[in-house]
Protein backbone atom coordinates (compact mmCIF):
# COMPACT_ATOMS: atom_id res chain seq x y z
CA UNK A 1 0.00 0.00 0.00
CA UNK A 2 1.61 3.25 -1.11
CA UNK A 3 0.48 6.12 1.09
CA UNK A 4 2.05 9.55 1.35
CA UNK A 5 0.93 12.88 2.77
CA UNK A 6 1.38 16.12 0.89
CA UNK A 7 0.47 19.67 1.75
CA UNK A 8 0.00 18.85 5.43
CA UNK A 9 3.44 19.57 6.80
CA UNK A 10 4.28 15.85 6.84
CA UNK A 11 7.22 14.43 4.90
CA UNK A 12 6.30 12.23 1.92
CA UNK A 13 8.33 9.04 2.23
CA UNK A 14 8.30 5.45 1.17
CA UNK A 15 8.59 4.57 4.85
CA UNK A 16 4.93 5.52 5.30
CA UNK A 17 3.94 2.78 2.91
CA UNK A 18 5.84 0.21 4.92
CA UNK A 19 4.52 1.51 8.25
CA UNK A 20 0.85 1.67 7.29
CA UNK A 21 0.98 -1.64 5.48
CA UNK A 22 2.65 -3.22 8.50
CA UNK A 23 -0.03 -1.85 10.80
CA UNK A 24 -2.91 -3.05 8.69
CA UNK A 25 -1.41 -6.22 7.26
CA UNK A 26 -2.17 -8.87 9.83
CA UNK A 27 -1.28 -11.89 7.78
CA UNK A 28 0.47 -13.54 10.68
CA UNK A 29 -2.87 -13.79 12.48
CA UNK A 30 -5.02 -14.85 9.56
CA UNK A 31 -6.45 -18.34 9.55
CA UNK A 32 -7.81 -20.22 6.56
CA UNK A 33 -11.03 -18.41 5.69
CA UNK A 34 -11.60 -18.39 1.93
CA UNK A 35 -15.26 -17.42 2.37
CA UNK A 36 -14.21 -13.95 3.56
CA UNK A 37 -12.32 -12.86 0.46
CA UNK A 38 -15.06 -12.46 -2.16
CA UNK A 39 -17.54 -11.03 0.34
CA UNK A 40 -15.13 -8.41 1.65
CA UNK A 41 -13.75 -7.45 -1.75
CA UNK A 42 -17.19 -7.02 -3.31
CA UNK A 43 -18.32 -4.86 -0.36
CA UNK A 44 -15.34 -2.51 -0.62
CA UNK A 45 -16.03 1.17 -1.31
CA UNK A 46 -14.16 4.48 -1.38
CA UNK A 47 -15.36 8.01 -0.70
CA UNK A 48 -13.62 11.37 -1.01
CA UNK A 49 -10.24 12.26 -2.48
CA UNK A 50 -6.76 13.42 -1.50
CA UNK A 51 -7.82 17.08 -1.50
CA UNK A 52 -10.70 16.74 0.96
CA UNK A 53 -9.73 13.51 2.75
CA UNK A 54 -10.79 10.00 1.86
CA UNK A 55 -12.32 6.97 3.52
CA UNK A 56 -12.15 3.28 2.60
CA UNK A 57 -14.67 0.76 3.87
CA UNK A 58 -15.63 -2.88 3.60
CA UNK A 59 -17.49 -5.51 5.60
CA UNK A 60 -17.96 -9.23 6.14
CA UNK A 61 -20.92 -11.24 7.47
CA UNK A 62 -20.50 -14.28 9.72
CA UNK A 63 -22.82 -16.68 11.47
CA UNK A 64 -22.08 -17.94 15.00
CA UNK A 65 -20.37 -14.68 15.92
CA UNK A 66 -21.74 -12.34 18.57
CA UNK A 67 -21.39 -8.58 18.31
CA UNK A 68 -19.33 -8.46 21.51
CA UNK A 69 -16.99 -11.20 20.30
CA UNK A 70 -16.43 -9.41 17.00
CA UNK A 71 -15.49 -6.15 18.72
CA UNK A 72 -13.32 -7.89 21.32
CA UNK A 73 -11.47 -9.79 18.60
CA UNK A 74 -10.78 -6.65 16.57
CA UNK A 75 -9.69 -4.78 19.69
CA UNK A 76 -7.28 -7.54 20.69
CA UNK A 77 -5.88 -7.66 17.17
CA UNK A 78 -5.35 -3.90 17.16
CA UNK A 79 -3.57 -3.94 20.51
CA UNK A 80 -1.32 -6.78 19.43
CA UNK A 81 -0.35 -4.70 16.41
CA UNK A 82 0.45 -1.76 18.75
CA UNK A 83 -2.44 0.34 17.51
CA UNK A 84 -4.23 2.74 19.83
CA UNK A 85 -7.73 1.95 21.09
CA UNK A 86 -9.56 5.25 21.58
CA UNK A 87 -13.05 3.96 22.32
CA UNK A 88 -14.65 0.53 22.63
CA UNK A 89 -18.23 -0.61 23.25
CA UNK A 90 -18.33 -4.37 22.79
CA UNK A 91 -22.02 -4.78 23.55
CA UNK A 92 -22.96 -1.77 21.43
CA UNK A 93 -20.82 -2.94 18.52
CA UNK A 94 -18.45 0.00 18.07
CA UNK A 95 -14.67 0.39 18.20
CA UNK A 96 -12.35 3.27 17.32
CA UNK A 97 -8.71 2.37 16.77
CA UNK A 98 -5.85 4.17 15.09
CA UNK A 99 -2.45 3.62 13.60
CA UNK A 100 -0.14 5.75 15.82
CA UNK A 101 1.56 8.88 14.57
CA UNK A 102 5.05 8.55 13.09
CA UNK A 103 7.48 11.04 11.57
CA UNK A 104 5.88 10.28 8.20
CA UNK A 105 2.17 10.55 9.02
CA UNK A 106 -0.39 11.68 11.56
CA UNK A 107 -2.61 9.21 13.46
CA UNK A 108 -4.80 7.21 11.08
CA UNK A 109 -8.26 6.48 12.55
CA UNK A 110 -10.11 3.24 11.84
CA UNK A 111 -13.73 2.64 12.79
CA UNK A 112 -15.03 -0.88 13.43
CA UNK A 113 -18.76 -1.53 13.77
CA UNK A 114 -20.73 -4.73 14.27
CA UNK A 115 -24.45 -5.47 14.11
CA UNK A 116 -26.45 -8.70 14.19
CA UNK A 117 -29.57 -9.57 12.21
CA UNK A 118 -31.16 -13.01 11.76
CA UNK A 119 -28.26 -14.66 13.64
CA UNK A 120 -25.70 -13.20 11.21
CA UNK A 121 -23.23 -10.55 12.39
CA UNK A 122 -21.96 -7.98 9.91
CA UNK A 123 -18.61 -6.41 10.79
CA UNK A 124 -17.37 -3.34 8.92
CA UNK A 125 -14.02 -1.58 8.96
CA UNK A 126 -13.53 1.99 7.75
CA UNK A 127 -10.13 3.67 7.38
CA UNK A 128 -10.02 7.46 7.23
CA UNK A 129 -7.14 9.36 5.65
CA UNK A 130 -6.67 13.10 6.05
CA UNK A 131 -6.21 15.69 3.35
CA UNK A 132 -3.08 15.16 1.30
CA UNK A 133 -2.78 11.45 2.10
CA UNK A 134 -2.37 9.27 -0.98
CA UNK A 135 -2.83 5.54 -1.40
CA UNK A 136 -4.06 3.05 -3.99
CA UNK A 137 -7.62 1.79 -3.53
CA UNK A 138 -6.61 -1.75 -4.52
CA UNK A 139 -3.93 -1.85 -1.83
CA UNK A 140 -6.29 -0.47 0.79
CA UNK A 141 -8.96 -3.02 -0.12
CA UNK A 142 -6.46 -5.85 0.25
CA UNK A 143 -5.27 -4.71 3.67
CA UNK A 144 -8.77 -4.03 5.04
CA UNK A 145 -9.91 -7.48 3.95
CA UNK A 146 -6.87 -9.10 5.53
CA UNK A 147 -7.71 -7.44 8.83
CA UNK A 148 -11.35 -8.49 8.70
CA UNK A 149 -10.24 -12.02 7.86
CA UNK A 150 -8.75 -12.35 11.35
CA UNK A 151 -12.28 -12.75 12.74
CA UNK A 152 -13.19 -16.24 13.89
CA UNK A 153 -16.72 -17.45 14.72
CA UNK A 154 -17.77 -19.35 17.82
CA UNK A 155 -15.57 -20.35 20.73
CA UNK A 156 -12.41 -20.17 18.61
CA UNK A 157 -12.87 -16.44 18.13
CA UNK A 158 -13.49 -15.74 21.80
CA UNK A 159 -10.44 -17.80 22.72
CA UNK A 160 -8.29 -15.93 20.18
CA UNK A 161 -9.38 -12.58 21.62
CA UNK A 162 -8.53 -13.67 25.18
CA UNK A 163 -5.14 -15.00 24.15
CA UNK A 164 -4.23 -11.83 22.26
CA UNK A 165 -5.39 -9.62 25.15
CA UNK A 166 -3.25 -11.62 27.58
CA UNK A 167 -0.18 -11.16 25.39
CA UNK A 168 -0.61 -7.39 25.17
CA UNK A 169 -1.30 -6.98 28.91
CA UNK A 170 2.35 -7.74 29.69
CA UNK A 171 3.85 -5.42 27.07
CA UNK A 172 7.03 -3.60 28.10
CA UNK A 173 6.89 0.19 28.64
CA UNK A 174 7.65 2.33 25.60
CA UNK A 175 10.97 4.16 25.96
CA UNK A 176 10.95 7.82 24.91
CA UNK A 177 12.81 11.05 25.39
CA UNK A 178 10.64 13.29 27.59
CA UNK A 179 11.03 16.33 25.33
CA UNK A 180 10.16 14.33 22.20
CA UNK A 181 7.07 12.94 23.95
CA UNK A 182 6.06 16.44 25.06
CA UNK A 183 6.39 17.82 21.53
CA UNK A 184 4.32 14.99 20.09
CA UNK A 185 1.59 15.58 22.67
CA UNK A 186 1.61 19.33 22.04
CA UNK A 187 1.20 18.89 18.29
CA UNK A 188 -1.63 16.38 18.75
CA UNK A 189 -3.33 18.57 21.34
CA UNK A 190 -3.04 21.53 18.98
CA UNK A 191 -5.19 19.60 16.49
CA UNK A 192 -7.62 17.86 18.85
CA UNK A 193 -7.09 17.86 22.61
CA UNK A 194 -9.99 15.50 23.26
CA UNK A 195 -8.09 12.55 21.76
CA UNK A 196 -5.09 12.69 24.11
CA UNK A 197 -6.53 10.89 27.13
CA UNK A 198 -8.21 8.01 25.25
CA UNK A 199 -5.11 7.62 23.08
CA UNK A 200 -2.60 7.28 25.92
CA UNK A 201 -4.42 6.57 29.19
CA UNK A 202 -3.21 3.39 30.88
CA UNK A 203 -0.10 2.99 28.73
CA UNK A 204 3.30 2.62 30.36
CA UNK A 205 6.27 4.79 29.43
CA UNK A 206 9.91 5.04 30.39
CA UNK A 207 10.91 8.68 29.93
CA UNK A 208 14.41 10.13 29.94
CA UNK A 209 15.17 13.75 30.73
CA UNK A 210 16.19 16.12 33.51
CA UNK A 211 14.35 17.06 36.67
CA UNK A 212 12.70 20.49 36.64
CA UNK A 213 11.37 20.24 40.21
CA UNK A 214 10.77 17.83 43.09
CA UNK A 215 7.84 18.74 45.30
CA UNK A 216 5.39 17.30 47.81
CA UNK A 217 1.95 16.48 46.42
CA UNK A 218 -0.22 15.50 49.37
CA UNK A 219 1.27 12.27 50.68
CA UNK A 220 3.23 11.74 47.46
CA UNK A 221 6.17 13.31 45.68
CA UNK A 222 5.86 14.88 42.25
CA UNK A 223 8.89 14.96 39.94
CA UNK A 224 8.60 17.14 36.84
CA UNK A 225 10.59 16.83 33.63
CA UNK A 226 12.39 19.91 32.34
CA UNK A 227 10.51 20.95 29.18
CA UNK A 228 11.48 24.32 27.63
CA UNK A 229 8.94 26.86 26.43
CA UNK A 230 8.42 26.88 22.64
CA UNK A 231 10.13 30.26 22.34
CA UNK A 232 13.23 28.95 24.09
CA UNK A 233 13.66 25.90 21.85
CA UNK A 234 16.48 25.72 19.33
CA UNK A 235 13.97 24.80 16.61
CA UNK A 236 10.86 26.88 17.21
CA UNK A 237 7.39 25.75 16.11
CA UNK A 238 6.03 27.17 12.87
CA UNK A 239 2.94 29.39 12.68
CA UNK A 240 0.64 26.35 12.45
CA UNK A 241 2.44 24.43 15.21
CA UNK A 242 1.59 24.33 18.91
CA UNK A 243 2.50 27.59 20.62
CA UNK A 244 2.35 25.98 24.06
CA UNK A 245 4.35 23.29 25.81
CA UNK A 246 2.99 20.15 27.43
CA UNK A 247 4.55 19.63 30.85
CA UNK A 248 5.14 16.10 32.16
CA UNK A 249 4.92 15.29 35.86
CA UNK A 250 5.54 11.95 37.55
CA UNK A 251 3.72 11.05 40.77
CA UNK A 252 6.26 8.78 42.42
CA UNK A 253 5.26 5.39 43.82
CA UNK A 254 5.21 5.09 47.62
CA UNK A 255 8.38 3.01 47.68
CA UNK A 256 10.25 5.70 45.71
CA UNK A 257 10.21 8.38 48.43
CA UNK A 258 13.87 7.89 49.37
CA UNK A 259 14.94 8.19 45.75
CA UNK A 260 12.79 11.29 45.18
CA UNK A 261 14.29 13.03 48.20
CA UNK A 262 17.81 12.58 46.83
CA UNK A 263 17.00 14.29 43.52
CA UNK A 264 18.01 17.84 42.69
CA UNK A 265 16.94 20.13 39.89
CA UNK A 266 18.67 19.37 36.58
CA UNK A 267 19.56 15.82 37.68
CA UNK A 268 19.21 13.31 34.86
CA UNK A 269 16.19 11.08 35.48
CA UNK A 270 14.84 7.95 33.82
CA UNK A 271 11.38 7.17 35.18
CA UNK A 272 8.78 4.53 34.34
CA UNK A 273 5.12 5.30 34.97
CA UNK A 274 1.58 4.88 33.69
CA UNK A 275 -0.17 7.65 31.75
CA UNK A 276 -2.91 8.86 34.09
CA UNK A 277 -4.42 11.96 32.48
CA UNK A 278 -3.85 15.06 30.40
CA UNK A 279 -5.19 18.40 31.62
CA UNK A 280 -6.16 20.32 28.49
CA UNK A 281 -6.43 23.62 30.33
CA UNK A 282 -3.05 23.47 32.09
CA UNK A 283 -1.39 21.45 29.30
CA UNK A 284 0.05 19.00 31.82
CA UNK A 285 0.39 15.22 31.65
CA UNK A 286 0.50 13.16 34.84
CA UNK A 287 2.09 9.74 35.06
CA UNK A 288 1.22 7.62 38.11
CA UNK A 289 3.20 5.04 40.05
CA UNK A 290 6.53 6.29 38.75
CA UNK A 291 9.69 4.40 39.65
CA UNK A 292 13.35 4.80 38.81
CA UNK A 293 14.02 2.73 35.69
CA UNK A 294 16.57 -0.03 36.17
* pLDDT for residue 222: 96
On whether the CB atoms of residues 51 and 5 are closer than 8 A, the answer is no
pTM: 0.71
> Do 104 and 237 share a domain, yes or no?
no
* Pair (83, 159) in one structural domain: yes
Do 45 and 125 have their domain in common? yes
The pLDDT of residue 14 = 40
* Domain boundary residue, one of 149, 167, 185: 167
Please indicate, yes or no, whether residues 25 and 158 belong to a single structural domain of this protein. yes
Q: Say yes or no: 193 and 79 in one domain.
A: no
Please report, for the domain that includes residue 271, its CATH number: 2.40.50.140
112 and 65 within one domain:
yes
Count: domains in the chain: 2
Q: What is the pLDDT along the chain (294 residues), one digit of tens a residue?
A: 445 554 444 443 344 344 444 444 433 333 334 344 448 999 999 998 888 889 999 999 999 999 999 999 999 888 888 889 999 999 999 999 998 888 777 888 999 999 999 999 999 999 998 887 778 888 889 889 988 999 999 999 888 888 877 777 777 899 999 999 999 999 999 989 999 999 999 999 999 999 999 999 889 999 999 999 988 877 777 777 788 999 999 999 999 999 999 999 999 999 999 999 999 999 999 999 999 998
Q: Which CATH number does the domain housing residue 147 bear?
A: 3.30.530
Residue 293 contacts residue 255 (beta carbons within 8 Å):
no
- Domain span at residue 284 reads 174-292
- Backbone φ and ψ for 266, nearest 5 degrees, come out as 75, 0
Amino acid sequence: MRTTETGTGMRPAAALTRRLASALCLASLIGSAPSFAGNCESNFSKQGNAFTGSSYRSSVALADLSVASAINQMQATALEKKMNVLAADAEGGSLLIEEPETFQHKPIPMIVSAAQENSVTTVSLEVKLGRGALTKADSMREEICKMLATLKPGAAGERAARDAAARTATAAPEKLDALAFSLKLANQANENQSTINPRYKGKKYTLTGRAAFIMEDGDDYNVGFDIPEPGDMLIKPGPMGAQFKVSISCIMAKNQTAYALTLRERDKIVLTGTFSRYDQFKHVVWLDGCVKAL
